[in-house]
Chains A and B, each alone.
Chain A
Amino acid sequence: MDLLNNFFFIALPYIAIIVFVIGTVYRYRSLKFGYSSLSSQFLETRKLFWGSLLFHWGIVIIFFGHLIAFLIPQSILLWNQQPLRLFILEISAFTFGIMAFIGLINLLYRRLSSARIRVVTNYMDIILEILLLIQIFLGLWVAYGYRWGSSWFAIVISPYLKSLFTFTPKVDAVFMLPLVVQLHIITGFLIILIVPFTRLVHFLVFPLSYLWRPYQKVIWNRDRKKIRNAKEAWTVHRPENN
């Protein structure tokens, strides 16, 4: 049992993170053409509206909620000091979870029912969507059945995750957790593990830099001014578009 636990809570996280980092970087550098969100809105747009919007807004907010709870757990604990604020946080988080869950069911249904979308579906899409569906379901279960996660997360899980990053894994507390919570952690690392092999890489290239770049973009492939200047050695000006 210990061996299994050690595998799931020590080995798996490290494998997942290593594969994630190496895989995404390799793919970005060498297989850049495939680095895309692979939107299928062009083929089917109505069902996508209810799937994509609900899922994305739900999952993005839940994701950042988890991130904040992991990075600065004190902030969540401080917020939760008053019961009313705890309720607000838990209920809104649960709502976003439901949103993501319904959205994902819509997306999965769309992927399987629409003939056009099936053409652009591969196995990894299905595996990913099912894993995400399981993960969100487990998350909702934890939120409903083991209240109040936003408070005990900070005491139990944040230290565990931090210990992983400092290479001193402290897993005793995690071993004691209910099975549902453990499964939620395991599935989470599984998803991180398969990111480089799925279309999920698109969240890594979310175009935030668009906000501060100028609207227009002109690329000069060759710096003619330098070429004309006799004082310069022959230039090693690198084209910007490859």
Chain B
Amino acid sequence: MDVRSQVAMLFHLDKCIGCHTCSIACKNIWTDRKGAEYMWWNNVETKPGTGFPTKWEDQNIYKGGWKKSDDQKLSLRGSGKYKGLLNIFHNPYMPSLEDYYEPWTYKYLDLIESPKGNDQPTARPVSLITGKPIDIKSGPNWDDDLSGTPEFARRDPNLEHLSPSEKEAMFQLEKMAMFYLPRICNHCLNPACVASCPSGAIYKRGEDGVVLINQQVCRAWRMCVTACPYKKSYYNWSTGKSEKCILCYPRLEAGLAPACMHSCVGRIRYLGVLLYDADRIQEAASAPEDELIDRQLELILDPFDENVIQKAKDNGIADSTIQAAQTSPVYKFVKEWGLGLPLHAEYRTLPMLFYIPSLLPVMATLSDADNSAQSGKLDPIAKFWNKNTLYDTSTNSLWGTIEQSRFPLKYLANMFGAGNESKIKEVLKKQLAVRVHRRNVTVGDINSEFSQKALSDVGLTSKMADDIFYLTSLAKFDDRFNIPPAHREQAIEMLENTGDAKGSSGFGFKESPTRGL
């Protein structure tokens, strides 16, 4: 057992209101620079939708992540030692600017300085790359809140394996639903970007598991952009270097929460330490698809286990880190309560960000009923439906509502369950059981027998349900953010070799990050 520690984040999707404050906080700190205008290390997507860059989840286009070949070995889908070096002169799977958007600004000065004329002056949009006027074709969050639209929602790659009627039911104006998906770099345990980098510029930091790109070693071979299945490695067109989310490591080292987390209005984010077993990473990453999530969660070790603690200490993990792992909110959600699931586990990168899938809306489904009398009135799209189905929003059964939810389980399973619906069902049932329990406690109109049955059905106790409720709804900042206290003297050494500057005045001259010749 090789115990290591990882700083992991959890997103409670039911609490996300899609305000993009996290994206703005991140943008203002890290990517408000030339060459990085189009980058969103943190972005929030509307699901169903195509996301950013467009259709990033469709690996037939972008060839990201790992795939298991016939001999059960893992290989990178679109890069790797041989494919990567062969495609180094022109990478056919690399997304280009059109797949993101052309960054722009407006010529505001024209509003003030235009000569007097018959027409009102306008501020024309100009490209931030060429400085020339452009027609804006798309921008950040171009499909925000556009569920149901043919251009965006219906092209969502997660709709694969859904029946036409299920798809149509999702997009009818009156019944349509959506949720938000905030995304940052997953700081994976089996990162495809690290594996794909020909120069070896990308690495995972041993101390806290943050995946970083060494800007001095990056040589713009651009394989990481292809390899990352989440498309979270971005190419800076100005400096000729790839950049990605750094989990605000300078803030982490100083004991501060990452900017996205700190600014989160809905308080949906939780940050904590997880201890994991690095010896079994390869094994977990090459598990059969239906076991992937379970095997990944098995990697996460129990921080109260004496054996684990001893092995962690042998590995040089600080006591403060072990303590933080024991009080980690992420550990509670993911391991103790089994509520957190990784995003797209089927890419086999073992992402270390976890999501609690959205519970709402649970009502309404297609049920068998005679629809023939109305079929003449239906619009052409609705005629796809089976004639004998009707949209049914009335239901008394508790679990039935989840199984026939308005958001097909299959859709959520394609995102958070590696295609496995039972995973999603379990998590949604747990969330509903907690609600039933709290309704019993606070309102009292549900009898406690029923609420107890709901809890025991999903393997929760009322104590656990109360804890889940507390951490979900009432948790203070320190409950949601729990990482070891900063070690400033170590933090500086992660960036600089202090020995280099010994005996000299200060830290010497640094090269500015400007484009080479």
Kindly state whether residue B369 has any CB partner on chain A within 8 Å. Answer: no
From 31 to 55 in chain A, residues with beta carbon under 8 angstroms from any chain B beta carbon are 31-45, 48-49, 52-53
Residues of B within 8 A of A238 (CB): 497, 499
Contact at B316–A42, with CB atoms within 8 Å?
no
Q: Which residue of A33, A41, A197, A207 is within 8 Å of B85 (Cβ)? A: A207
Contact at A33–B216, with CB atoms within 8 Å?
yes
Residues of B within 8 A of A166 (CB): none
Distance A27 CA – B513 CA, assembled complex (angstroms): 14
Kindly state whether residue A168 has any CB partner on chain B within 8 Å. Answer: no
Distance A228 CA – B497 CA, assembled complex (angstroms): 19
Residues of A within 8 A of B85 (CB): 207, 210-211
Contact at A217–B517, with CB atoms within 8 Å?
no
Residues of A within 8 A of B241 (CB): 33, 36
Distance A225 CA – B132 CA, assembled complex (angstroms): 57
Q: Which residue of A53, A124, A213 is within 8 Å of B90 (Cβ)? A: A53
Kindly state whether residue A220 has any CB partner on chain B within 8 Å. Answer: yes
From 54 to 81 in chain A, residues with beta carbon under 8 angstroms from any chain B beta carbon are 56-57
Residue among B90, B94, B237, B517 having the largest count of chain A Cβ atoms under 10 Å: B517
Instruction: Decide yes or no: A36 and B494 within 8 Å by CB, A41-B222, A210-B84 being known contacts.
Output: no
Distance A84 CA – B318 CA, assembled complex (angstroms): 72
Contact at B240–A39, with CB atoms within 8 Å?
yes
Distance A168 CA – B514 CA, assembled complex (angstroms): 42
Distance A203 CA – B22 CA, assembled complex (angstroms): 40
Distance A107 CA – B161 CA, assembled complex (angstroms): 43
Residues of B within 8 A of A115 (CB): 130, 132
Closest to A220 in B: B206
Residues of B within 8 A of A227 (CB): 316
Closest to B102 in A: A116
Chain B at the A interface: SS class: loop
Interface residues on B, range: 35 or more
Kindly state whether residue B377 has any CB partner on chain A within 8 Å. Answer: no
Q: How many residues of chain A get a CB closer than 8 Å to chain B's CBs?
A: 57
Kindly state whether residue A113 has any CB partner on chain B within 8 Å. Answer: no
Contact at A241–B515, with CB atoms within 8 Å?
no
Distance A95 CA – B195 CA, assembled complex (angstroms): 36
B25 to chain A, nearest CB (A): 25
Kindly state whether residue B283 has any CB partner on chain A within 8 Å. Answer: no
A64 to chain B, nearest CB (A): 15
Residues of A within 8 A of B206 (CB): 218-221
Binds A, one of B196-204, B326-334, B437-445: B196-204
Kindly state whether residue B290 has any CB partner on chain A within 8 Å. Answer: no
Kindly state whether residue A82 has any CB partner on chain B within 8 Å. Answer: no
Distance A48 CA – B120 CA, assembled complex (angstroms): 42
Residues of A within 8 A of B511 (CB): 30-34
A199 to chain B, nearest CB (A): 6
Using CB atoms and an 8 Å cutoff, list the residues of chain A in contact with chain B: 30-45, 48-49, 52-53, 56-57, 115-116, 118-120, 122, 124, 197-199, 202, 205, 207, 209-211, 213, 215-225, 227-228, 236, 238-239, 241-242
Given contacts A49-B92, A197-B517, 12 further A-B contacts (CB under 8 A): A31-B511, A34-B517, A40-B237, A43-B96, A115-B132, A119-B131, A120-B515, A198-B517, A207-B198, A207-B219, A217-B204, A242-B216
Q: Could you list 18 A-B pairs, sorted by A, with CB under 8 Å?
A: A30-B511, A33-B513, A33-B516, A39-B220, A39-B222, A41-B91, A43-B237, A52-B89, A119-B131, A120-B515, A205-B199, A210-B200, A211-B81, A217-B202, A217-B203, A219-B205, A221-B206, A242-B497
